[in-house]
Amino acid sequence: MAHPISAFQAAYISIEVLIALVSVPGNILVIWAVKMNQALRDATFCFIVSLAVADVAVGALVIPLAIIINIGPQTEFYTCLMVACPVLILTESSILALLAIAVDRYLRVKIPVRYKSMVTPRRAAVAIACCWIVSFLVGLTPMFGWNNLNKMRRTQELNSSHTEFVITCQFETVISMEYMVYFNFFVWVLPPLLLMLFIYLEVFNLIRKQLNKKVSSSSNDPQKYYGKELKIAKSLALVLFLFALSWLPLHVLNCITLFCPSCQTPHILTYIAIFLTHGNSAMNPIVYAFRIKKFRTAFLQIWNQYFCCKTNKNTTSTTTAETGN
């Protein structure tokens, strides 16, 4: 029988639901904007759509599963493992999408003339597919055996490898902290983040060199091109910075848990770190709206075409009908 939800859990659930209610519509709006606006059809925005899909899934799938885990239902081990793995898949998908975006921006400023012939829609689609395949392999690694099953069997003195037993479903109960730190963080989170930092530094360096070079040029086209690239690169670097800011605290706490088992981490810090990771999914549409003009224009177009003007039309139709009567 499930134990009653405490006031603290109720507050946690309320915040998670609020994050989901912001994240899901916001990222659907991003996908919608790219679909309806021809100016948002290049490779960069395709990778942004992949990132938005992952963020929608965080709000629609991961947050509900996180709420379930927080309540701590009694389940079989692999059932709990299946509930815990989606967040690992979607985190890795977001990181690889951000890496693809960074590489794309680098190519745009490094080889602007040959960029369109090299980064074709087909190649972008293949890159996105590869990112998702790798994400599933990394995120489902615990399902393949790198988990806490054997540790729990030893704890509960169950000798048969085929024996099923019921556990209280918690993330740390089923997911190995060695996997989270050595494999997930040290291999698939930290190195890509450091690589992206290096790429964006190089992008800004290349753009500034070009802008300085073109100051005395009689043509304004290169100046305009690199000026636009600088603005977009700054916006996407901000997205990367917010991602790192949101996810690193939780990984640092995981490192403390693994390397200092006797250290007592306050539960409130863990919850704040979890809120940051989930809240990151709601941040990106806000960044796009305020920092990228093409997105802002597309968002306003959607609002005027499907919401604002539609309401006005309905009001006008109603008024006309009443006048006719």
Domain 7-306: which CATH number of 2.30.30.100, 1.10.3720.10, 1.20.1070.10, 1.10.620.20: 1.20.1070.10
* Per-residue pLDDT tens digits for 96-142: 999 999 999 999 999 999 999 999 989 999 999 999 999 999 999 99
* Per-residue pLDDT tens digits for 67-79: 999 888 999 999 9
Q: What is the pLDDT of residue 158?
A: 52
Query: How much is the pTM?
Result: 0.89
Q: Please, which contacts does 40-46 make with residues 24 or more away whose CB atoms are closer than 8 Å?
A: 40/294, 40/295, 40/298, 43/104, 43/119, 43/121, 43/123, 43/124, 44/101, 44/104, 44/105, 44/108, 44/232, 44/236, 46/121, 46/124, 46/125, 46/128
Q: How far is CA 229 from CA 49, 204, 240, 304, in A?
A: 19, 9, 16, 28
Write down the domain spans for the chain: 7-306
* Per-residue pLDDT tens digits for 29-42: 999 999 988 888 88
